[in-house]
Amino acid sequence: MTSTVATTLAPPFTRETAIQKVRAGENGWNSRNPEKVSLAYTVDSIWRNRSEFVTGRTEIVAFLTRKWAKELDYRLIKELWAFDGNRIAVRFAYECHDASGQWYRSYGNENWEFDENGLMKHRHASINDLAIKESERLYHWPLGTRPEDHPGLSDLGL
């Protein structure tokens, strides 16, 4: 997700632009490129991710670099839950495995708040991990952006 995408999807959000913003966020995270992803956030963005608190793009890059070094073959699906003005709530699930080969499906909710340019200034994430067998995986697309025809969370019963 580039800053151009962020600024073209600025508040106040409509249902259509909120859905586009969620998909742009999903696509960015599926790139697993911390520097690219950080551009969707304000320079002083504030995060709560599980029990970790992150402030600013430099810390976002460091956080995501650590995350994707541990969460291998990461694939994410996000879905709009609600929106109002400059805020969006999403639910998500991602699949990945650790260095030992144990697969996980992590479920969560995020609350987002954006500045007037469409950059995220606050991100609050609550996440739960479920160990799964490799045979239970539901996300099988090649690494990177989820194909347009791949089912979303609701379609998958998640």
Q: DSSP alpha helices (H): ranges in the chain?
A: 3-8, 15-31, 34-38, 56-70
Instruction: Report pLDDT digits (tens) over 97-114.
Output: 999 999 999 999 999 999
Q: What sign does the dihedral 37-39-43-44 (CA atoms) show?
A: negative
Q: Structure pTM?
A: 0.93
Tell which CATH architecture fits domain 3-136. Roll (3.10)
Residues 6+ apart with CB under 8 A from 142: none
Domain ranges within the chain, ordered by starting residue: 3-136
Beta bridge partners of 111: 89, 124
Residue 62's pLDDT is: 98
Residue 21's pLDDT is: 98
Q: Report phi then psi at 97, rounded to 5.
A: -135, 160
Instruction: Report pLDDT digits (tens) over 5-28.
Output: 445 699 999 999 999 999 999 999
